[in-house]
Amino acid sequence: MNAKVNISNRAGASFPVRRMDFEFGEVPRYWANGDAALTHFMTALSALFPEGEQFFVNSTRAVRNDPKLADPRLQREISAFIGQEAMHSKEHLAFNASAQAYGYNVRKMEAQTGRLINRTIGVTSKLLKPFGFTKEMISLTGTCALEHFTSTIAEELLSNPDIQAMFMDETMYHLWMWHAVEENEHKAVAFDVYESMYGQGAKAYFMRSLALVIAMGLIFITQSYFTAKLLQVDGKLTWRDTKYMLKFMYGYKGFMTRQIPTLLSFLRPKFHPNDDDTTELLNKWRAELGFNPS
Ligand SMILES: [Fe+2]
Ligand SMILES: [Fe+2]
């Protein structure tokens, strides 16, 4: 793999933090299937990550000293979760910089993502304050909803060879597969923090259901807008240049279309991220990517 890997489990959590140092200098312009639209779809997702994952870290840090989270096991999981997300931010920032070098203004998209997150949390907090919802609760529930989105997409990446085949570049393959493994390793942490803080009652359930609807809507709009902006740079925002990607992602049984039932499972009152057991899948991929301790 085109990266140095440094695995550490200082926190003693159920999963380690892997420090990666990918080299993106040789990544071709259209690294996904040689297709501009498919590549830009993935780059648009990557543009959301640095600020998005920083938001997850901040939301969790904001509450971690609360006495309700005193359980040492949960504290260890929080530390490792923060470590993994910080590494994802760092590597996607590095990849985004390599796309910037091709003339795509991904840095601007990262900044727009940060502003969107701040505004959404600000407006929602103001609107829901009279009903007793705090900014900390809203941020954390947003994190839970977005973590459900990332772990769902990540599981599909790990499970579907047709999707894996789109990664024609080895570095990009390893970046996304490493990220996908870790999203599933830590998928329950934010949710466990949320339930420990706010319980499983009607108020907590209402807030997380609302968060899912808002988060999915905003991701869809923002990521589609970024994809269109990237295609515009190449003069490829046309039906001819996008139809393959649109079918691949949103067609009948497309990559994103297929995720809808799993995404909606979050709305079940008794939902927990570990209801979907990915242990075997993770064991397979940790071996495949050389992540097992030697
Ligand atoms: Fe992540
Ligand atoms: Fe995550």
CA of 236 to the centre of ligand 2 (A): 32
CA distances from residue 284 to 103, 165, 280 in whole angstroms, order as listed:
38, 17, 6
Give the pTM. Answer: 0.95
Q: Look at residues 22, 24, 25, 42 and name the one whose alpha carbon lies nearest to residue 33.
A: 42
- What residues does 167 pair with on adjacent strands? 32
- 233 assigned to some structural domain: yes
* 119 lies in some domain: yes
In this predicted structure, the answer to whether residue 264 has a pLDDT above a threshold of 60 is yes
State residue 257's pLDDT score: 95
- CATH number, domain of 38, equals 1.10.620
Q: What is the pLDDT of residue 7?
A: 82
Reference 146, options 214, 63, 58; nearest CA is 214
* Cα 21 to ligand 2 centre (Å): 19
Give the distance (Å) from ligand 1 centre to CA of residue 153. Answer: 11
Residue 54 within any structural domain of the chain: yes
Distance of CA 183 from the midpoint of ligand 2 (Å): 5
CA 40/CA 81 separation, integer angstroms: 28
| Percent over 70 (pLDDT), the chain | 98
Please indicate, yes or no, if residue 12 is contained in any of the structural domains.
Answer: no
* Domain contains 92: yes
Q: How many domains does the chain contain in total?
A: 1
Tell me the sheet residues that pair with 5: 20
Report the distance separating Cα 181 and Cα 179, nearest Å. 6
Kindly report, residue by residue over 144-171, the tens digit of the pLDDT: 999 999 999 999 999 999 899 999 999 9
Ligand 1 centroid vs 240 CA: distance in angstroms?
33
- Structure confidence at residue 293 (pLDDT): 65
Backbone angles phi, psi at 59, to 5 degrees: -65, -40
CA pair distance 287, 49, nearest whole angstrom: 26
Residue 142, pLDDT score:
98
CA 187 to centroid of ligand 1, rounded, Å: 10
What confidence tens digit (pLDDT) does each residue in 22-75 have?
Answer: 999 999 999 999 999 999 999 999 999 999 999 999 999 999 999 999 999 999
Q: Do residues 78 and 189 lie in contact, with contact meaning Cβ atoms separated by under 8 Å? A: yes
Does some domain include residue 60?
yes
> How many Å apart are CA 60 and CA 124, to the nearest integer?
18
Q: Is a pLDDT exceeding 70 seen at residue 1?
A: no
pLDDT digits (tens, 9 = 90+) for 174-191: 999 999 999 999 999 999
Centre of ligand 1 from the C-alpha of residue 210, in Å: 22
Q: Residue 85: pLDDT above 70?
A: yes
- C-alpha of residue 28 to centroid of ligand 1, in Å: 23
pLDDT at 200 exceeding the cut of 70: yes
Count of C-beta atoms within a 10 Å radius of residue 139: 22
| Ion ligand 2: protein residues whose beta carbon lies under 5 Å | 147, 183
Residue 163 falls within a domain, yes or no? yes
Domain hosting residue 264, numbered range: 2-6+33-287
**How sure is the predictor about 277, in pLDDT bands with cuts at 50, 70 and 90?**
very high
Residue 14 lies in a domain: no
The Å distance, Cα 106 to ligand 2 centre, comes to 21
pLDDT-derived band at 9, boundaries 50, 70, 90: confident
